Amino acid sequence: MLALLRDPDQGALSKIVLIGLVAASLFGLLFIFNRALQKALRSKSTEIS
């Protein structure tokens, strides 16, 4: 990935697409982690009550 960003022969559009894909992947991982954390906390709070 970094080699693609540093390669001067690559166009600006391909760099933007690559950055967009990385951002979407990170956002997806954050979303999945957040949902799993909320589910774990909800199940933990029902056990305590």
Q: Which domain holds residue 41?
A: 25-49
SS3 per residue for 17-36? HHHHHHHHHHHHHHHHHHHH
Q: Is residue 29 part of a domain?
A: yes
Q: Is residue 44 part of a domain?
A: yes
**For 4-46, what is each residue's pLDDT tens digit?**
667 767 788 888 888 899 999 999 999 999 999 999 888 877 7
**Cβ neighbours around 5 below 10 Å, total:** 12
Give CA separation, 40 vs 24, 32, 37, in Å. 24, 12, 5
Maximum CA extent, the chain: 61
How many domains does the chain fold into? Answer: 1
- pTM of whole model > 0.85? no
